Structure 1
Amino acid sequence: MGNQTPSKWVSRPPLLRARAALGVARVGSDIFAVGGFTDERVWPDTEARHATGDLDWHEVKKIPQARANHATAVVAGLIYAIGGIRSNDKSLDSVEVYDPVSGHWTNGPRLPERRNSASAAGLGGLLYLVGGFIPSGPDSGTTTDSVLVHDPAGNGWTALSPMPTPREKFRLVALEDHLYALGGFSADEQSMSSVERYDPARDQWSAVHDMQESRILACVVATKIGHRPVIVAVAGTEAKDGVPIGSRRTTEIYDPAMDRWSLLDVLLPKPRGSVDGTVEQEGTVVIVGGVTTPHADGSRAFVSDVDALDLEHSGAEFE
């Protein structure tokens, strides 16, 4: 792959509404963007577009409870929007489920406690919810290491072995038979580059190689380059002692066979944090929405940008 000319990020049609801290999911041949916020409010907007062909976004049924910093995952063709915050910054314990076939939202299994900034993934027909922030008062709470699983054939949530590292505003992704928790915000308010892998068959966590850069709320997807399964991490925010330092334009790729991250030369058109994304097709990652790093005066720009990168021609090299 090293002899190929690196590709660039290519602009796709933007979201109808700019927003950050949204959830993005792909079901079949369609991509969905759920919720999110701007400085004005938390939004219930749900938009959809085709993964290929006509890439313009259109509105579908709004999620009943507007939410941001929620966990989003797909199991058995259904999109789960889990927890998050509503317009008064109050955390939610509700779960809502969208069926793209019927076009309707229904209530899912309520969480044991209110939780925001967690991450979720579907694997083996089960829904996993990991980490996040559990409030204990108006201005207090805990960055958690807890792991919950829900079987759609049953009811409620079951606790599993906790992550080694409590984290919030991170990403959880399923690759082959494992889950990976990447980056995020630590309990001592630092952005993290660490990555931990969960084996559901053994209910065990282990550390794998750190990302090359720390990332809060990056776009993280699992896909393939050729026949090689990989994880891709794009953009996200760096922070120190709770203060955002800047958002990133970089992309890095994890090869589980080598336990190695490769930082690509290609850069996003603009730095973005609080983003999400998915794959348009195998080997092409798409990043959706986000927000720029706050300026000196505290202002920031929420973006509707959608950009795609063909990883087959990204310059990534595997030995």
Structure 2
Amino acid sequence: MDLPSTKDFHWQSLAPLPSRRVYPTLVEAGGQVFAVGGCDDNGVPVDSFEVYSPEADRWEPLPAMPTARAGVAVAVLGKRILVVGGVGAGQQPLRAVEAFSTDEGRWRKRSSLREAAMGISVTAKDHRVYAAGGMGSDLRPHNFLQHYDALKDIWVSLAAMPTPRYAATSVLRGSKIYVLGGRQSKYAVNAFEVFDTDTRSWSKFPSIPNKRAFSSFVPTEEKLFSLGGLRQGRLYRQPKFMRTVDVFDLEQGGWMKMERSCYLKKRRADFVAGYLRGRVVVAGGLGNQPTVLESAEAFHPEKNKWESLPPMPTPRCACSSIALRDCLLAVGGVSQGLSTAVEALCLSDS
């Protein structure tokens, strides 16, 4: 595979989101992008549900979710989109689980979670959805791992995750679910644990070398990248935006020693990140400057350094993002207020 050069990247402005909101969850099904829920200008969860068609460059409203919510976990099972937990009215975590059939164009209520939770991390394998962690209404992080059996419409409890947390990142590779980072209360954790769906058991892996909040995790074929973020302030320590890049080698089973030359060019947190044809890319976010960042950069794995890309047309942080057809879509987020902008960082022939 020939690596694209920085000249091959460009931004496209796409049809804007129909309604201004932050924290919608994006998912791809059948070549289309679905935007699920989110919060409006007043921080109130919404029931909005829309689909974006790349061919028509158009958003279409779909039947609203039965339960308004933000920060939901979403998984695709064939022609069904399963929406799990999240934050509902009054900023309370939810037990509700609902499924949308893309064939029938309608919602159905499914078996609820055993406890209300927001910040659940999900992965789908075969006809099952695995849901890890979360935070309940008592603000305590959960160590639950449960799977949803779509054929029986039941939740089954599995071995508890060694480190309770919410807002972790889960990556499925074969029979293994890699669960990285997350938070307990306000603070980031650097735990890294792996669940084997065959043996139904957990293994502890070496912790992420640098603990930070609002970082991004990007999986590639052989590696897991942990990028940027905010080193949080504690007693006697100021918060600090980071350029740090940590890389886990899936084949070797360990974190690689990273030279400072491999660090991001810009300190950033709360940015979009993805993987496009052999290159990890990042854009936007918050940094040391008083306004949101517009800069974008791509990692060159042979030169072991980051290279500048064209800047984001609408600089934003807190975007939702998804990779689709050699493009990284940045949807909504915060510019000077909530933004409806939808822009895609694309490779020239995509």
Shorter chain as denominator, the TM-score bin is 0.7 to 0.9
Check whether the contact 1:91–1:115 (CA below 8 A) recurs between aligned residues: yes
Report the residue type matching 1:83 in the other structure: G
Could you say what the CA RMSD is over the residues aligned between the two structures, in angstroms? 3.7
Report the residue type matching 1:290 in the other structure: G
Check whether the contact 1:99–1:105 (CA below 8 A) recurs between aligned residues: yes
Which of 68, 71, 77 aligns to 2:70? It is: 68
Report deviation, 1:4.
5.0
- Residues 55-98 of structure 1, C-alpha deviation per residue, up to 9 Å, x if partnerless? 33222221111101221111223111111121211221110111
Q: Which moved more, 1:175-184 or 1:229-238?
A: 229-238
Corresponding residue for residue 166 of structure 1: 164
Q: Which moved more, 1:152-161 or 1:248-257?
A: 248-257
Query: For 1:31-110, what aligned pairs fall within 5 Å after superposition?
Result: 31-40=33-42, 41-50=44-53, 52-110=54-112
Report deviation, 1:264.
5.5
**TM-score, with structure 2 as normaliser:** 0.70
Corresponding residue for residue 288 of structure 1: 331
Corresponding residue for residue 305 of structure 2: none
**TM-score, with structure 1 as normaliser:** 0.75
Structure 1 position 180 matched with structure 2 position 178: yes
Structure 1 position 279 matched with structure 2 position 273: no
Check whether the contact 1:184–1:217 (CA below 8 A) recurs between aligned residues: no
Structure 1 position 257 matched with structure 2 position 284: no
SS for the counterpart of 1:98 is strand
Corresponding residue for residue 140 of structure 2: 142
Q: Which moved more, 1:231-240 or 1:24-33?
A: 231-240
- Provide the C-alpha distance between the structure 1 equivalents of 2:210 and 2:159, rounded to a whole number of angstroms: 27
Check whether the contact 1:250–1:267 (CA below 8 A) recurs between aligned residues: no
Percentage identity across paired residues of the two chains: 23
Distance 1:210 1:4, change over 3 A: same
Distance 1:212 1:191, change over 3 A: same
- Segments of structure 1 that go 5 or more residues without pairing to the other structure are 293-299, 314-319
Distance 1:256 1:94, change over 3 A: same
Corresponding residue for residue 304 of structure 1: 340
Distance 1:157 1:88, change over 3 A: same
Report the residue type matching 1:177 in the other structure: S
- Provide the C-alpha distance between the structure 2 equivalents of 1:240 and 1:304, rounded to a whole number of angstroms: 32
- Provide the C-alpha distance between the structure 2 equivalents of 1:215 and 1:165, rounded to a whole number of angstroms: 16
- Segments of structure 2 that go 5 or more residues without pairing to the other structure are 257-261, 266-280, 287-315
Structure 1 position 269 matched with structure 2 position 269: no
Distance 1:181 1:304, change over 3 A: farther
Report the residue type matching 1:167 in the other structure: R
Check whether the contact 1:21–1:36 (CA below 8 A) recurs between aligned residues: yes
- Provide the C-alpha distance between the structure 2 equivalents of 1:57 and 1:36, rounded to a whole number of angstroms: 16
Distance 1:4 1:67, change over 3 A: closer
Corresponding residue for residue 201 of structure 2: 204
Which of 30, 33, 40 aligns to 2:32? It is: 30
Distance 1:27 1:263, change over 3 A: farther
Distance 1:116 1:100, change over 3 A: same
Give aligned pairs, total. Answer: 292
Distance 1:307 1:200, change over 3 A: farther
SS for the counterpart of 2:323 is strand
Report the residue type matching 1:286 in the other structure: L
- Residues 167-210 of structure 1, C-alpha deviation per residue, up to 9 Å, x if partnerless? 112332323332222332224x2124443322111222232562
Check whether the contact 1:147–1:159 (CA below 8 A) recurs between aligned residues: yes
- Residues 108-128 of structure 1, C-alpha deviation per residue, up to 9 Å, x if partnerless? 111111111212121132111
